[in-house]
Each structure stands twice: as C-alpha cells, then as structure tokens.
C-alpha cells in the first residue's frame, strides 16, 4: 500500500479522499491555487503545495506542476478526484512516465471512453444497447443538420468530449438546430478544448440510471448496483438515490452485466460509472407496445412490470465516466463500503475486496447537492461569503443519521472560479420513505447566509407528488415548476414575529436597563407602541408592537393580531404567536434578518422609517452583469431595436454559459464591453434607450 499520495483536486472531494487516506494510515499532499490558499482541503492534508493562479487553467489543470509537486514531496501516487484532470489520458500517461501511480483507469480506457462518439461505436460492438443517433467524425454543420432531420425531433446535441451537463443542447425543431449547434460548440471548446459533437434522439420521459463498476489489474469486475440521477436542472444532477426506485432484480442484473461488459471492453481498472438513459413506456405503467425506437440490441431488452416497479423500462448506453462520481456516497451507504479505499487498494495492485455474489443492498440512500445558486432566477450561480454555515450534526442541531461532505467552512468565500457546489447531504434509511424524511430534516437544519442557495428548493422537490411517489424522469423539475419556484412557506406574520423577537432579544442582551427590553414591568401610563417597517416578498409592510400594562406584548402585522411570547434558547428562539409555536433561528446580516423555521426559510428586511419615506424606484434603462464572469458575445449592436426577452449577450461564469435577455422593449444605445472582457457583478454591460 502507498505511504503517501497527492490529491490533485480541491473542495469536498479532496477532503473526502484525505479522510479515507488518513484512516488507512496514508499521508496526503494537497495542491492549491491562489484562491484556495486557506481552503479547507489544504488544512485536511498533511502537506500542501501552491501550484498557481486562481483560474483552473493556471493551477488545477497544469498537470506538469502537479507532477512536480508529487515528486518534490515524495508522493507515490496521485488521486485525481473528479473534474479537472480526472479523465485526462495525457495526465494519466504523464504520471506513469514520472514513476507515479495514477489512481484511476489506464490511459487507454480513458481515451476509449473519453469521446462519446467513439465510445458508442465501441459499445455497439460489445453488444451494449445505444440510443439512435449520429456519432460520426464529419462535423460539417450542414451534415449534422441533415442527420438531426433524419433522426427526428426532438434531438439532443452533445459535446463528444463533454460531461457535467456542459456542451449539451436539446432542440425541438429543425429551425432551431443551427443556433443550438453554434452555442453547443462554443461551450464545448471553452470547457473541453474540443468542439466535436454527436446528435441523438431525445428520449421521451427518460430516467437517468447509472451503474457503479469496479475492475482490478487481475481482470476481475463487479457492479455495485445502480443510482437514479433523474432529477436534474440544466442537465446537471440535483438529487441522486440508490437503489433506483422501481428497479426489478431482473432489470438490475441486466443493466449490471451490460455495465461490466462495457468496462471489460476497454480493460477498465478502478472505479467507473456506466450511465444509461432508461425509457419508460406508457407513463411507466402497462405492457410494452412493441420494440423501442431505434431497434436497440436485445441485451437492452424490456420486461413486464413486477410488483413495486414503475413499469416497462428499456435502457440505452449514454456514456462511461472513467472516475469516481460526485454521487458515490449513496452507493457507499447502501453497500457499507468505502469506494475510495477500494480505489487505493486496486491502484496499489491488490485484487477487488469482494466478488459479485458477496455484494448486498442495505436500505435506501439519497444525496442532495447544495449549490450556490438562485433557483428562482434560472439557477443563476451565486458568489459570496458564507457568513453563516450551520449543518446537520454541528453544535446544537440534533438530526437523524446524516453524512455531510463539504470543502468549506463558515467565513469561506464561494468564488466564481470553480463549481457552485457547497456541500452534499447524504442520508440513509431502512426504506425510501424514511430516507426522504431524514433528508428533509437534514435540509431544515442546514442554515446558510451570505449568498443564495438551493436548500429550500431541494425541500420543495422532496415534497412534490412526483418525487414522493418516485414518478421520476429528467423533466421532473419542469413538470412540477408550479410548486417548486417562488414559494414562500414562511408567511409574513411568522417572519415579522421572528424579526421583532430577535430585535427585542438583542436589546435585552445589550441594554438591561432599556425599558423596552423589560417584559415583566407594570406601566402606570398609557399603552406604549413601537412601529416596525419591513420589506417582505417584495412588498412593504408595517408592524405595531404594543407593550401592555402588565408587560405582555401584542403584535399586529399582516392581518394577524395576537400576543407575542418568546424565549431565547441556545439553538434559536421559541416563538408563540397567533396560535402557533415555532422554534426559529434568526441571523442578522445588515438590515436583513434571515429566518429559518421547521417549515422553511425566509428573509425579511427591516426598513429605517425615516430613510425610506418616499423612497424612489431604482433607475431603469440599465442592464448589468448578474454575477462576476466573462463576456462571451453580444447578439446586438448600437442602434438595434430589441424586444422584451430578446437575447442580448452571453456570459460565462462557474463553467456555464448564461444568456442575458432584454428586460423591456427598447433601443441599444451603447455596448460597454467587448467579447472576452472580464466583468464584475453589477457591471453595466450595455445601455438601453426607449
């Protein structure tokens, strides 16, 4: 076994690998960029080496610096994590040339599976079923258009060297193909340095089910069952679970054996994931109506519905990820195995620890990805400082069994240079229903202040009819959007009561002699009233707090009028108001109180009554960058007339492209930046006139 390894990654996966290495008695070396000089993963390792600037191309993608760091520190092997260089065959080959073990598959396997078109041709020869499509090397746009027309719409354009949802566009009709192809190729060249694409039939009501496989240097292979990753936004996973709901034993065996055949075809070594698109027939119920589209090979097959299944399903090979996956913890939870330990053992030349017949599924596990983004604004990535970061199992929180994988701490900066994921919550239960309840409880105990996150959105997803009843497909979020976006589970009365209670509690702590802070004193004069002004849900609201003769409090707000009682506890404030009792946590940041309750979270802003009297609206006619990033292109020029919703510019941030649209009809007065310029959040990109 290795004595020391270098982890060529950052964030939560670097911390995750370091934890297993520490348990196994293996010393670790971290690498870090300028932006990560004080990052959690640096402190999690025994040694750390600075390798360059903040942008990945200046640090985490500079494999020659990483190899130099490994040799200088005496590391025997390099673990690439996922992302960055994890699927770069040149890096894997360079490690071998430098006398270092690459903890992953051989370069030949990475190369074989790295290009989607070539890998699908290889899988077809191995008898693995494929989705109908064009996987050729001729990239003439006219040819690609003809192939798409031949396949039939809708089609999916995918970057051949892509992954992680980048370089992927769904096209509904022929007239949209040209623009979608150009956008897809542009994102592919920026993300992967290769703009080759393939075109495939867009499967209706697809589920995304993947199989975890492992191979060793002795030629042994196993599959560690499946994960359902169907809940996605922007082609990126949001929730993952194992085992896949409704999966029959026969289907599991069929998919597992197909995945092993794929791994065997490229002489795979280490941890890998074979991803399948699963087509559900007739809304997932009833018998099959005949062969599936494209005449997939019989090994894909379909089967009648069994008790507890979702119905007839047929699967098609999508791609193989030649690395550890973000969602690997759910497989660890249901198998009781440490997949990073398996990686280290296999890379050191040991055989697989277990054979296929020794593997068992225990219970159900679900993972939620907590990301810095605004779901109500098309999942726009967010940057900022984690002013408050409370998670299950920390300090005063008492939550059912839950695992938190993260690479950040309270006070850390979420920068625009890297992926927007903050943490992963993984729960395990005896049943899916128990796991769902535990995940909702864990999310309720996750308090993040300082930037937008998707925590509350994830709770909304868990409570949808579709997810609760395992009616899963990749369109779940779109189908349930009416109950997922712009929700306000915490109403004004509770939010205002929490804000008032927090104000009074703070006053009591600072000024014990403040008469307003005393709740048990008799007053000889008339009733005393205090007025509060709030901004909540985009609307102004007033609240009146009355101090009664006997020291009790009466609060009038949002149509509610009732006594307000509260007591401060170590982990929050107990509020009794309008017939309800709630334990809330309130964090103040500037004039905004962030309220977290069991039912959800809300923000309520305290207004200065004098400063906000007669406040005017913000000026119009300006169009600004919603986040720090790079201007990719403008679709207009000065003097052009534009209509509301028309695309004006494309920005790139956090490894994704974002289209900036016109907020209203108007005329472009001036472009203030050029393509390629880096811009700060809030920078005015162009001026619109009437």
User: Among all residues, which ones are annotated catalytic?
Assistant: 323
85-93: list long-range contacts, CB under 8 Å, 24+ apart: 85/8, 85/60, 85/61, 86/9, 86/322, 86/323, 86/324, 87/114, 87/163, 87/321, 87/322, 87/323, 88/63, 89/114, 90/63, 91/63, 91/66
Give the DSSP H/E element, type plus range, for residue 449: strand 447-449
Are 363 and 428 contacting, i.e. CB atoms less than 8 angstroms apart? Answer: yes
Q: Exposed, middle or buried, 206 (CB in 10 Å: 0-12/13-18/19+)?
A: buried
Residue located via tokens 């048990």: 520
Torsion region of 603: left, alpha or beta (phi above 0 gives left; psi -120 to 50 gives alpha)? beta
Q: Is it true that the peptide bond before 275 is cis, omega within 30 degrees of 0?
A: no
Give the DSSP H/E element, type plus range, for residue 90: helix 89-97
**Close Cβ partners of 177 (under 8 Å, ≥ 6 residues apart):** 144, 145, 148, 155, 157, 171
Q: How far apart are CA 548 and CA 546, in angstroms?
A: 6
Residue located via tokens 């550890």: 324
Q: Which tokens is 188 given?
A: 């592919």
Phi and psi at 333, nearest 5°, equal: -65, -40
Residue located via tokens 């078109």: 117
b or e along 491-513 (b: 16 or more beta carbons within 10 Å of the residue's beta carbon)?
bbbbbbbbbbbbbbbeeeeeeee
Are 230 and 279 contacting, i.e. CB atoms less than 8 angstroms apart? Answer: no
Are 76 and 32 contacting, i.e. CB atoms less than 8 angstroms apart? Answer: no
User: Nearest-CA neighbor of 232 among 17, 51, 474?
Assistant: 474
Q: Report, in angstroms and rounded to the nearest whole number, the Rg of the chain calculated over CA atoms.
A: 27
């Amino acid at each position: 076994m290795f004595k020391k390894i270098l982890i060529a990654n950052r964030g939560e996966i670097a911390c995750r690998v370091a934890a297993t290495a520490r348990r196994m008695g293996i010393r670790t070396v971290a690498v870090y960029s300028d932006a990560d000089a004080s990052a959690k993963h640096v402190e999690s390792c025994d040694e750390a080496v600075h390798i360059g600037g903040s942008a990945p191309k200046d640090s985490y993608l500079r494999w020659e610096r990483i190899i130099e760091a490994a040799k200088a520190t005496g590391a025997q092997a390099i673990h690439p994590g996922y992302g960055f260089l994890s699927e770069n065959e040149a890096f894997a080959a360079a490690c071998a040339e430098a006398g270092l073990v690459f903890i992953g598959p051989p370069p030949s396997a990475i190369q074989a599976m790295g290009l989607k078109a070539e890998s699908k041709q290889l899988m077809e020869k191995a008898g693995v079923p494929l989705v109908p499509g064009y996987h050729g090397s001729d990239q003439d746009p006219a040819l690609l258009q003809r192939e798409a027309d031949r396949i039939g719409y809708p089609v999916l354009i995918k970057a051949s060297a892509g992954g992680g949802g980048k370089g992927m566009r769904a096209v509904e009709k022929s007239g949209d193909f040209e623009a979608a192809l150009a956008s897809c190729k542009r994102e592919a060249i920026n993300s992967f340095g290769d703009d080759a694409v393939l075109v495939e039939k867009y499967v209706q009501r697809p589920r995304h089910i993947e199989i975890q496989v492992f191979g060793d240097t002795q030629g042994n292979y196993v599959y560690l069952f499946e994960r359902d990753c169907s809940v996605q936004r922007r082609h990126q996973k949001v929730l993952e679970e194992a085992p896949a709901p409704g999966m029959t034993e026969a289907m599991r065996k069929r998919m597992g054996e197909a995945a092993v055949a794929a791994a065997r075809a490229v002489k795979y070594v280490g941890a890998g994931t074979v991803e399948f698109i699963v087509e559900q027939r007739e809304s997932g119920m009833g018998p099959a109506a005949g062969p599936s589209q494209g005449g997939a090979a019989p090994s894909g097959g379909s089967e009648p519905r069994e008790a507890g299944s979702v119905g007839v399903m047929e699967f098609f090979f999508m791609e193989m990820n030649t690395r550890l996956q973000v969602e690997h913890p759910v497989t660890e939870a249901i198998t009781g195995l440490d997949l990073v330990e398996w990686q280290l053992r296999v890379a050191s030349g040991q055989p697989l620890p277990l054979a296929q017949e020794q593997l068992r599924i225990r219970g159900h596990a679900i993972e939620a990805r907590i990301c810095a983004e605004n779901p109500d604004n098309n999942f726009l990535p967010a940057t900022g400082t984690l002013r408050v970061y409370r998670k299950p199992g920390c300090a005063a929180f008492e939550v059912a069994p839950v695992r938190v994988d993260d690479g950040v701490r309270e006070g850390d900066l979420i920068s625009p240079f890297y992926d927007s994921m903050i943490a992963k919550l993984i729960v395990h239960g005896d049943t899916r229903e128990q796991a769902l309840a535990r995940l909702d409880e864990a999310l309720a105990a996750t308090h993040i202040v300082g930037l937008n996150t998707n925590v509350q959105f994830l709770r909304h997803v868990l409570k949808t009819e579709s997810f609760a009843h395992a009616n899963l497909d990749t369109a779940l979020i779109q189908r349930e959007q009416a109950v997922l976006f712009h929700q306000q589970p915490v109403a004004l009365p509770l939010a205002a009561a929490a804000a008032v209670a927090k104000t009074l509690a703070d006053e009591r702590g600072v000024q014990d002699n403040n008469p307003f802070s005393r709740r048990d004193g008799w007053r000889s004069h008339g009733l005393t009233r205090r007025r509060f002004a709030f901004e909540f849900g985009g609307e102004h609201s007033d609240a009146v707090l009355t101090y009664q003769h006997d020291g009790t409090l009466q609060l009038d707000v949002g149509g509610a009028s009732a006594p307000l009682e509260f007591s401060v506890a170590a982990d929050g404030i107990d509020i009794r108001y309008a017939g309800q009792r709630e334990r809330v946590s309130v964090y103040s940041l500037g004039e905004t109180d962030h309220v977290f309750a069991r039912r959800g979270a809300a923000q309520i802003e305290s207004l200065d009554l004098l400063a906000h009297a007669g406040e005017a609206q913000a000026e119009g006619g300006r169009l600004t960058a919603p986040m720090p990033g790079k201007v990719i292109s403008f679709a207009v020029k000065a003097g052009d007339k534009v209509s509301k919703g028309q695309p004006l510019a494309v920005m790139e941030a956090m490894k994704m492209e974002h289209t900036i649209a016109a907020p209203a009809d108007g005329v472009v007065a001036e472009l203030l930046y050029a393509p390629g310029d880096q811009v700060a959040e809030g920078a005015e990109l162009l001026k619109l006139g009437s």
